[in-house]
Amino acid sequence: MNKQTNWTAITIVIIVVLAIGSIFFMKLLKNDETNKEQTTQEQTPKQNTNKPLDPTIFQYEAQPMLGSDTATVKVAEFADYKCPACKYFSEEIFPQLKKDYIDTGKIQFYSYNLAFLAPDSLTAAMVGEAVYKQNKEAYWTYNELVLKNQQNEAKNWATTDFLYDLIEKNMPEVNMEQLKKSVENEEAKENVIKDSNIAQTLEISGTPAVFVNGMEVEESMNYEAVKQTIEEELKK
């Protein structure tokens, strides 16, 4: 009798263990499927539902541009030199854009200053405008160079001394005396303010902000989202 009772107890324990194991396995399976679904959603960009804005707002003719003069798709980026996300865009997103669309003559890429994070954001933007006035091609070198050497956002690092030293050591094509005079006058500052006014009209709330033919890309840090919007415009 005791032996039969023991076997009954053991059988019950085995059934309970198997039941718990089955439940646990089903939860793991469900979680794995959920994780796969979330990963797929993260990799797949959302459909861009934004409507194109009046192209005259962007004043493209006054901005630094890379690309073919005959390209019909215009991509505009608003950035702050002190913005860490803008550094990421410059190093991770822009090279892909350049390879796939700028170098192939499919788009025109425009650069805008939105110097809002700190006073030295304005300084970096003003120096950039002065470089552009002197040498349009050198502007893009400056843009990449400053973002590459970006420091802590909370630190007041983008001073004229720092920026001039950076240019003098890396950009021999720039006339430093002419550059300094250009920064000192109000023209460079006025051009930065013009960019900020455009951004204000567009109601931009952060950087980098990317527009494709006047439509804001909701996921500007996702290359696939930017690419998807460009491809849709190229089909038109």
Q: Which DSSP letter does residue 96 get?
A: H
Instruction: Write out the two tokens for 187.
Output: 């023209």
Instruction: Write out the two tokens for 34.
Output: 């959920």
CA distances from 55 to 11, 73, 129, 201 (A): 77, 11, 22, 12
SS3 75: strand
pLDDT(1) > 90: no
When pLDDT is averaged across residues 48-58 and rounded to a whole number, the result is 83
> What pLDDT does 14 receive?
43
Edge-to-edge strand list for the sheet holding 65-67: 65-67, 107-113, 73-79, 209-212, 215-216
Q: Which helix (H) or strand (E) holds 188?
A: helix 186-201
pLDDT tens digits, one per residue of 159-196: 999 999 999 999 999 999 999 999 998 889 999 999 99
Task: HSE, CB side, 13 Å, CA atoms: give it for residue 190.
Answer: 7
pLDDT tens digits, one per residue of 83-93: 999 999 999 99
pLDDT(71) > 70: yes
What confidence tier does 224 reach under pLDDT thresholds 50, 70, 90?
very high
